[in-house]
């Protein structure tokens, strides 16, 4: 068996490795700044470089992240807007989008900008998103008329779990089948 030589790593080598890890991760996943920070910290903990303090590593991670931000490889504002757009396309509510972005570590200013932009583009966005959920899950107005009263509570609770408020859910659940089909054609 060939013995493995123990190479002593310097901070410069660690920074270069972090850059490589960060660029590979950004290329594959397009993360937020906080996601990338968490990834690099976990990656460092796996490597367990000797003679390097954890505070030094977090400082190095901050340096790498600021370099990536300056070169526009990561941009939380763009991340926020693109994720919100794709989530709206899938039929998610504004509350669910807001909570998702908070969970990803996006700055509150960017979240508020994104939510305001969504509401400015379409005042009743939650209503149309709820209609999309109804179509996708075949609930509420998408059900046959016989089953609608039986599944009313279940359908309302499904909309609530998807982040829609009671008023919006009730408005969607009270839609007639003809009105629902007209709205679906518009969407």
Gap between the Cα atoms of 36 and 1, Å rounded: 38
Which carries the bigger pLDDT value, residue 8 or residue 109? 109
pLDDT at 186: 87
Gap between the Cα atoms of 93 and 130, Å rounded: 7
pLDDT at 44: 81
Instruction: Give mean pLDDT, residues 8-17.
Output: 67
Which three-class secondary structure state does DSSP give residue 134? helix
Global pTM value? 0.82
Domain boundaries, the chain: 11-70, 76-121, 125-186
Give just the sign of the alpha carbon dihedral 131, 135, 136, 139: positive
* Dihedral angle of Cα 49, 60, 12, 36, to the nearest 10 degrees: 80
Least confident piece of the model among 8-22, 70-84, 130-144, 168-182: 8-22
pLDDT at 180: 93
C-alpha angle 20-21-25 in degrees, rounded to nearest 5: 115
pLDDT at 48: 63
Mean per-residue pLDDT over the chain, rounded:
88
pLDDT band at 6, cuts 50/70/90? very low
Residue 147 structure tokens: 């089953």
Least confident piece of the model among 5-9, 18-22, 32-36: 5-9
Is 33 within 8 Å of 105 (Cβ atoms)?
yes
pLDDT at 54: 77
pLDDT single digits (tens) 128-182: 999 999 999 999 999 998 989 999 999 999 999 999 999 999 999 999 999 999 9
């Amino acid at each position: 068996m060939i013995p493995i030589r123990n190479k002593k790593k310097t901070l410069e080598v660690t920074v270069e490795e972090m850059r490589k890890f960060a660029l590979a991760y950004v290329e594959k996943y397009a993360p937020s700044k906080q996601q990338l920070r968490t990834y690099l910290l976990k990656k460092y903990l796996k490597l367990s470089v000797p003679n390097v303090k954890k505070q030094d590593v977090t400082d190095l991670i901050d340096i790498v992240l600021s370099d990536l931000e300056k070169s526009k490889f990561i941009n939380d504002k763009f991340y926020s807007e693109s994720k919100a757009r794709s989530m709206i396309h899938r039929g998610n509510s504004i509350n669910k989008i807001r909570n998702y972005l908070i969970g990803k570590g996006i700055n509150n200013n960017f979240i508020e900008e994104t939510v305001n932009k969504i509401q400015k583009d379409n005042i009743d966005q939650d209503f149309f998103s709820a209609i999309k959920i109804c179509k996708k899950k075949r609930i509420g107005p998408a059900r046959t008329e016989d089953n609608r009263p039986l599944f009313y509570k279940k359908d309302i609770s499904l909309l609530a779990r998807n982040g829609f408020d009671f008023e919006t859910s009730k408005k969607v659940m009270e839609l007639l089948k003809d009105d629902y089909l007209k709205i679906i054609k518009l969407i």
